Amino acid sequence: MSRKMSRRMQELVKKVEDRPYEPIEALNLLKETATAKFSESAESHIRLGIDPKYTDQQLRTTVALPKGTGQEVRVAVIARGEKVSEASEAGADLVGSEELIAEIQKEQNLDFDVLIATPDVMPQVAKLGRLLGPRGLMPSPKGGTVTFDIAQAITEFKAGKLEFRADRTGIVHVMFGKATFEAEDLLINLKALQECIDRNRPSGAKGRYWRSVCISATMGPSIQVDISALRDLKLAELS
């Protein structure tokens, strides 16, 4: 049974026309429809012409948002030896070795947004797959979260680097800032995301790759974005 739309949402939906908007126009409308009583995120929902059940049509990568995420990112690191102290010095919020793996396994410590691991501990971290996988927290080389360059990885993720992947239906859901950002800054982040998705087009993706792009505030209505207009923009000219 479908949920009844709130009066607030009914009023917001009236502001959105059923058409693709120019990118900056869409982002201004997103800001206008972010009327919840908390700081809403700017979210993108991008439908691609891929079928992720095939290995050559899967998309999983990272994007560095030039204007950041607007959120505090808690980074946990699992490592050994000198890499433990390196992680602490680089600003990791949670650092450990086998004892941290045990805590996570018992679900006693999941207070982090990103988990980075060095390659030498991955055989032990692998046992956390069933717990971390569904939460999108399992370290992976493609996601930039399995590395010996701990300090750089911590810096990048805290500065606005995000890992994302296409879901089973070929849709990418990515938060690309806060609704309180200036529309121009949101546009820079959205453009960086679009370019990242193009750069990482799966080899098995045939035909039309981009199907639709919709954006919204966390509690706001969906707004269509003109894909061609977004792709025609130049990131260097926006920055």
Per-10-residue mean pLDDT, the chain, length 239: 74 93 97 94 97 94 92 93 95 94 84 94 92 89 92 93 92 96 97 96 95 96 96 88
Residue position matching structure tokens 């680097």:
161
Report the alpha-carbon distance of residue 70 to residue 9 in Å, rounded: 24
Q: Map out the domains of the chain as residue ranges.
A: 7-69+162-238, 75-159
Radius of gyration over every alpha carbon of the chain, rounded to an integer in angstroms: 19
Tell me the one-letter amino acid at 62.
T
Residue position matching structure tokens 């966390």:
218
Q: What angle do CA 131, 216, 65 make, to 5 degrees?
A: 65
Q: Is the distance from CB of 187 to CB of 23 less than 8 angstroms?
A: yes
Q: Token pair for residue 65?
A: 């948002």
pLDDT at residue number 189: 97
CB atoms within 10 A of CB 142: 14
Q: Could you tell me the pTM of the whole model?
A: 0.83
Nearest to 25 by CA among 224, 165, 195, 167: 224
pLDDT at residue number 200: 95
The class that CATH gives domain 75-159 is: alpha beta
Alpha carbon of 55 to those of 60, 203, 204, 223, 224: distances in Å? 11, 9, 8, 31, 29
pLDDT at residue number 27: 97
pLDDT at residue number 192: 96
pLDDT at residue number 1: 43
pLDDT at residue number 3: 62
Buried b (16+ CB within 10 A) or exposed e, 77-112: bbbeeebbebbeebebbbbbbeebbeebeeeeeeeb
Q: Token pair for residue 63?
A: 């994007």
Q: Is the distance from CB of 58 to CB of 166 less than 8 angstroms?
A: yes
> Which residues contact residue 177 at a Cβ distance below 8 angstroms, ignoring those fewer than 6 apart?
41, 42, 65, 67, 68, 69, 70, 185, 186, 189
- The domain 7-69+162-238 having CATH identifier 3.30.190.20: the answer here is yes
